Amino acid sequence: MLVNIINLPDNEAEFKIVQMYHNEKPILLCGSRKLGIKNFHGLILEQYLKEQNINYDSFAPDEKFPNWLLPKLKLKDTYNVVGMGKMGIDQSIHYVQLPYGSSHDYKIGVNTEFNKLIKETFKHKFDN
């Protein structure tokens, strides 16, 4: 199964990613340093959910900032976030660094099974 990749940079040494399923289809959401302050895992997820008109439940990841709300990792059968972390890419030389690391706010790391799907997707992308 190939992963639908959203906002993949052409060449960026390190950017944040969200590994998720939306209606059971694998989705990789990519952030970018160009987003500046909006390059948080929760904001990357929130932007996608809003673009897809998905209503979601929120939580405050830090009790010191109760008004700072982020989307929850799962909404029934609509979406399910399975991993968060970082990755790197240089498409000009067909180089992809598979996701690694974790999200501080969500306390979740990358999903190794999802990484296998990402690897398969890029193999297909670069071989064609």
Domain span holding position 56: 4-127
User: 119 near 19, Cβ under 8 Å?
Assistant: no
Angle (CA) 71 6 8, round 5°: 120
Beta-bridge mates of residue 71: 58
- Report the CATH number that the domain containing residue 79 is assigned in CATH: 3.50.20.20
**Unique residue bearing structure tokens 């998905």:** 54
Side chain identity, residue 48: Y
pLDDT digits (tens), the chain, 128 positions: 889 999 988 888 889 999 999 999 999 999 977 766 567 899 999 999 999 999 999 998 878 777 889 999 999 989 999 999 999 988 888 888 999 999 999 999 999 999 999 999 988 876 76
Number of domains in the chain: 1
> What pLDDT score does 37 carry?
57
